[in-house]
Amino acid sequence: MPHPTKPISDPMKAALLECFQASIDLIPDDLRPQFILVGAAASIAHGSRLWMEDVDIAGSAEAITAFRAAIDRGGTRFHICPAETI
């Protein structure tokens, strides 16, 4: 969730965008248009300077399934928490 007055630092902005890129890299090329950045992190990609700490992604069932399968195979920087968040 964005902080209403705190500006995001350049390193944090870079880290959020790197996280999204790392997630996209796990998806087959043909599914990438179905796996999109949404929420406050999308605003950052379009120039917002508000602080945030998470990356929200929306995707088709097929794209999300491919992402989850890549995580389950291991070798990524992502993991599934007990509450099913990534």
Q: Extract the tokens encoding 24.
A: 């996209």
Total-model pTM: 0.77
pLDDT of 85 higher than 80:
no
1 pLDDT band, cuts 50/70/90, is low
The per-residue pLDDT for range 29-58, each reduced to its tens digit, is 999 999 998 888 888 888 888 887 888 889
**Domain limits, the chain:** 10-73
Distance from C-alpha of 41 to C-alpha of 20, rounded to nearest angstrom: 9
Cα Rg of the chain, angstroms: 13
Determine how many CB atoms are found less than 10 A away from the CB of residue 62: 14
Beta-strand ranges (E) seen in the chain are 35-38, 56-59
